[in-house]
Amino acid sequence: MTNGLENVVAAETVLSDVDGQAGRLIIRGRSLDELAGRASFEDVVALLLEGFVDGLPADLPAALGRARAEVFAEVSALDAGLLARSPIEAMRALLARLADDEDAATALRLIAAPAVFTAAVVRAQAGHAPMAPDPALSHAADVLRMLRGAPASEPEARALDAYLVTVCDHGLNASTFAARAVASTRAGLTSAVLAGLGALKGPLHGGAPGPIIGMLDEIGAPENARPWIEAQLDQGERLMGFGHRVYKVRDPRADALKAAVRQLGARHGRLEFAEAVEAAALAVLKDRKPDRALQTNVEFYTALLLEALAFPPDAFTCVFAMGRVAGWIAHAREQALGGRLIRPQSVYVGPRPRRAA
């Protein structure tokens, strides 16, 4: 009996393929190397949705800009109760206000929503008024502007764009599976995205990068890395940013993101320090689990990149959702158009009722 559906094939897809042995990711026939740093987030949204969402506008960047402006109206629903929650919980609540349809306008609003709502929540939590979107900007540049209240530099917008492209889709990960299961009931795109968001939030999936900053801050200096890591593992804790269900070699997205951090010029010495912690972690994991191929996953350098872009660590998972929402929607539509209801079986191992005397 497999616990975790390891190696179970639950869908056929033309959207993405993860080769865990070779460390390769393909998105609709293109390799990640071909896309990251070359295609924009808007390009990969078009690539993923083509053929799955009817009536996609030809000028997708402009349509996504308009969608950002439309969903901004929901920000007025932010109240003290929501602002007391974590950014992902507040963002999820705003997203749940969107209508549950399947058309192109709904798809674009859902892609716009995590970006607009996250920026508004982070600003409001810091005591600033939310900023309305500028539909003329690229998605990445507008996210940073809405977050900070001032335009971001060109390299910063490029770095965020590269991140959103890098995480836009990744096979049948837990959140995409959750989105597909909901879509298979024909519930609608907003419900599917909410399912994806719920699954993404957990620390074993998209919730890992925030705590990585906590780990780096606690370690403080390279010479503390090994003892700190040993102590964590002694307590039965897992190291965030390491290990993956599918990749048995280094996650190719880790290096794409590391390159983006380097180009951005992270805080002096921060990247070198993180590399020292990574090397110590890999060495300890190899000693402790020689039969498991535990490698660096996407989240380790995600944390460094989003820190360099001045996102607060408790909003890192929201930024992941800004990119992955494109994949959730494409998968939800692929499932709704061609798939059957997802309804696996369970094996009952509990007690049987007593036979009546």
Q: How far is the CB of 6 from ligand ACO (least distance, A)?
A: 7
Q: How far is the CB of 325 from ligand ACO (least distance, A)?
A: 14
Residue 45 or 208: the one with the smaller Cβ distance to ligand ACO is 208
The catalytic residue among 139, 170, 205, 244 is 244
The catalytic residue among 156, 299, 307, 334 is 299
Q: How far is the CB of 40 from ligand ACO (least distance, A)?
A: 22
Residue 60 or 298: the one with the smaller Cβ distance to ligand ACO is 298
C-alpha 195/C-alpha 197 separation (Å) is 5
Q: How far is the CB of 206 from ligand ACO (least distance, A)?
A: 6
Is 244 in the active site?
yes
Three-class secondary structure of residue 19 per DSSP: strand
DSSP label at residue 226:
H
Determine the residue with CB nearest ligand ACO.
Answer: 243
DSSP per residue over 137-206, as a string? S-HHHHHHHHHHSSPPPHHHHHHHHHHHHHTS--SS-HHHHHHHHHHTTT--HHHHHHHHHHHHTSTTTT
Q: How far is the CB of 272 from ligand ACO (least distance, A)?
A: 22
Residue 128 or 286: the one with the smaller Cβ distance to ligand ACO is 286
C-alpha 119/C-alpha 112 separation (Å) is 11
Nearest Cα neighbor of 142 from 166, 167, 118 is 118
Three-class secondary structure of residue 296 per DSSP: strand
Residue 104 or 276: the one with the smaller Cβ distance to ligand ACO is 276
Is 299 in the active site?
yes
DSSP label at residue 29:
T
Asked if 78 and 305 touch (Cβ cutoff 8 Å), the reply is: no
Which H or E run contains 293? none
DSSP label at residue 344:
-
Residue 6 or 12: the one with the smaller Cβ distance to ligand ACO is 6
C-alpha 252/C-alpha 281 separation (Å) is 18
Three-class secondary structure of residue 40 per DSSP: coil
Residues that bind ligand ACO (CB under 6 A): 4, 203-206, 208, 238-245, 289, 292, 294, 297-299
Q: How far is the CB of 141 from ligand ACO (least distance, A)?
A: 25
Asked if 212 and 305 touch (Cβ cutoff 8 Å), the reply is: no
Residue 126 or 204: the one with the smaller Cβ distance to ligand ACO is 204
Provide the annotated active-site residues. 244, 299
